[in-house]
Amino acid sequence: MRIAEISPQPNLVLTIVAEDGRIGNFDVSHYLEYEAFEALRDYTEFLKVQNGGYFVEWDCGADLSADTIEARWQVIGQANKLANA
């Protein structure tokens, strides 16, 4: 999976749009027990998420691969694709 867009949501959830149009939610809170993710307990740090295409990362050094996200996200819809005319 390649990540097209990410949007941080309340309760440490990322809404992700995959390049193929699938939209899903990924709960990051399950990772807060790990040292690399501790800084994300501060919501302002969580909001600093960046899209690396095949991963997401934060300023604190925490990151998650697109494969990890795809394996554990909840798909909630499909984005409409515009046909090239």
The pTM of the full predicted model, rounded to 2 decimals, is: 0.88
Domain boundaries, the chain: 3-78
10-49 pLDDT per residue, tens: 999 999 999 999 999 999 999 999 999 999 999 999 999 9
How many CA atoms lie less than 13 Å away from 55 in the CB half-sphere?
A: 7
CATH of domain 3-78: 3.30.2020
**C-alpha angle with apex 76: 74 to 80, nearest 5 degrees?**
135
- Residue 74: both structure tokens together: 């909840």
40-70 pLDDT per residue, tens: 999 999 999 999 999 999 999 999 999 999 9
